[in-house]
Amino acid sequence: MARDLTQLEMLTLLEPVVGQNIDRHLSMAKDWYPHDYVPWDEGRNFAALDGIDWDPEQSRLSEVARVAMITNLLTEDNLPSYHRTISENFSQDGAWGTWVGRWTAEENRHAIAMRDYLIVTRSVDPVALENDRMVHLTKGVHAPEGFGGVLDQVVYVTFQELATRVSHRSTGRVCDEPIADRMLARIAADENLHMIFYRNIAAAAFDLAPDQTIEAITKVVKNFAMPGTGMPNWRRNGVLMVKHRIYDLRQHLDEVLWPVLRIWNVFERTDFTPRGEQSREELGEYLEQLERDVIRFEEQRDRLLAREAAKAEKALTP
């Protein structure tokens, strides 16, 4: 029976693939500048500089759009914590180190653009936003128990980058504001390229260690949580975002999990030992249960929205 690869062996064997995918990424990535997505002519001073402080009536965004923008921004804000995590699980040397630096620099643009847009347009309460940022970054992000090592991390960020892309694009649509939509589409394009990078590394890991890789995938899929989990008002805001299809179980299953699993040919591979087959079977059973959960959730949401619509209509009836 072949032994498992150590973390060092995995990093060493995957490094040439990382180098190739850095070249691929740089050939496709387009430089962009956060200041180009901010309507600076709308800016004005707050009270500390003899201006006017924020008032909810100043925001042109709906409650759903504000919640989604704040949630996405606070998620992007936690970049120092993500950088620490991937540095610990990858390497700060060679191709791995080059990628960690490049990825961090690209990700940093996202929070810069979103915050400048929200503050200049007075779309959200800047004091509440800063207070939440302090709380969220102080807590940081911590991997679920049992997660650790290069495979778990590569698999997780593959799904997470795609999930974040979906959330940004959905948020852009509910903003109903062309500048915000264009900015979030630009950010989502970055997330998609990052997802492809990590997805390609995981695909290479499959060829090196199929059993270890399917075990990492099964573990991550069954325990997946968005990186913003635990931020202030997470549960309340999450319910609102799910209710209005910013990011829900159906999107998670159909737009995130299945597209990646198909690219990896998870259910068509023939190179697993009985150990890997057992893990793949566990994954398949989980996905079947998730589909049942999605159907049940959608039925409940439809009933809730129908009741709310009927209640609103009744309130308008003389």
pLDDT band for position 301 (cuts 50, 70, 90): confident
* Interval 140-151: pLDDT, tens: 887 666 678 899
What residues contact 249, with CB distance under 8 A and at least 6 apart?
A: 242, 290, 293, 294, 297
- Does residue 318 have a pLDDT over 80? no
To the nearest whole percent, how much of the chain has pLDDT over 90? 78
Q: Report pLDDT for 114.
A: 97
pLDDT band for position 116 (cuts 50, 70, 90): very high
- Does residue 314 have a pLDDT over 60? yes
* Interval 153-208: pLDDT, tens: 999 999 999 999 999 999 999 999 999 999 999 999 999 999 999 999 999 999 99
Greatest distance between any 2 Cα atoms in the chain: 77
Give the integer Cα–Cα distance in Å for 227 and 76. 9
Q: Report pLDDT for 256.
A: 97
To the nearest whole percent, how much of the chain has pLDDT over 70? 95
Terminal CA-to-CA distance of the chain, rounded, Å? 77
Least confident of 14-18, 120-124, 237-241, 307-311: 307-311
102 closest CA partner among 81, 124, 86, 121 = 86
256 and 74 in contact (C-beta within 8 Å)? no
| CB neighbour burial string for 57-86, b if at least 16 within 10 angstroms, e if fewer | eebebeebbbbbbbbbbbbbbbbeebbebb
pLDDT band for position 305 (cuts 50, 70, 90): confident
Q: Report pLDDT for 66.
A: 95
pLDDT band for position 309 (cuts 50, 70, 90): low
pLDDT mean over 287-293: 95
* Interval 41-54: pLDDT, tens: 999 999 999 999 99
Give the integer Cα–Cα distance in Å for 226 and 228. 5
Give the integer Cα–Cα distance in Å for 282 and 29. 37
- Does residue 1 have a pLDDT over 90? no
Average pLDDT score, the chain? 92
Give the integer Cα–Cα distance in Å for 263 and 281. 18
Q: Report pLDDT for 140.
A: 86
124 and 118 in contact (C-beta within 8 Å)? yes
